[in-house]
Amino acid sequence: MSSPATARRARTVSQTLALLIGAVYLLVGILGFFVTGFDGFTEHDHSQTLLGFAVNPLHNIVHLLIGGLGLALWRTDSGARTYGWILAIGYGATSIYGLVVANNPDANILNINGADNGLHIASTLAGLAIALWPRRDATARR
């Protein structure tokens, strides 16, 4: 008989990445409010930055939601992979949006700057890594 410790499945790479990225985005969302407060919800003001990344309250809320999703979905491999697809598709679209509206204050409701665009592209790639990371073969571990 196997003990409870050996019966537990090891955390997959996808789960670890989903947990880590979710925690970071949640933390960034919280810290963003120390920079922006709650005023100017969709304000385009590149002077409000967190480590060089432009933020506003709406952008902070998006970070909180993405972070919360990561923390909610990391517990199972399939949940983590779903989170990966959400990151890949969501941040893929956000990357395109950011490139189009970065210099248009009327359309840039998330206050995206060049640093944000780079991070969003990296988040898209991280999402693909989470979603597509090879699954472990259970028989290879015997």
49-70 residue pLDDT tens: 899 999 999 999 999 999 999 9
Q: What per-residue confidence (pLDDT) applies to 135?
A: 85
Tell me the angle at which helices 57-73 and 77-101 cross, rounded to the nearest 10 degrees.
160
Per-residue pLDDT, averaged over 72-76, amounts to 97
Would 19 be classed as within a structural domain? yes
Contacts of residue 59, Cβ cutoff 8 Å, sequence gap at least 6: 32, 110, 111, 112, 116
Percent pLDDT > 70 in the chain is 89
Contacts of residue 9, Cβ cutoff 8 Å, sequence gap at least 6: none
Would 72 be classed as within a structural domain? yes
* 22, 87 Cβ separation under 8 angstroms: no
Q: What per-residue confidence (pLDDT) applies to 105?
A: 85
Would 90 be classed as within a structural domain? yes
Q: Number of folded domains in the chain?
A: 1
Domain residues for the domain of 71 are 12-37+51-134
Would 5 be classed as within a structural domain? no
pLDDT, tens digit, 9 for 90 and up, residues 7-54: 467 899 999 999 999 999 999 999 999 999 999 889 888 888 899 999
Would 69 be classed as within a structural domain? yes
Distance of CA 103 to the CA centre of its chain: 23
Would 6 be classed as within a structural domain? no
DSSP code per residue over 30-72: HHHHHHHTTSSTT---TT-EETTEE--HHHHHHHHHHHHHHHH
Measure the CA dihedral 71/68/72/115, to 10°: -60
Distances (CA, A) of 105 to 62, 75, 95, 134: 19, 39, 16, 42
Would 71 be classed as within a structural domain? yes
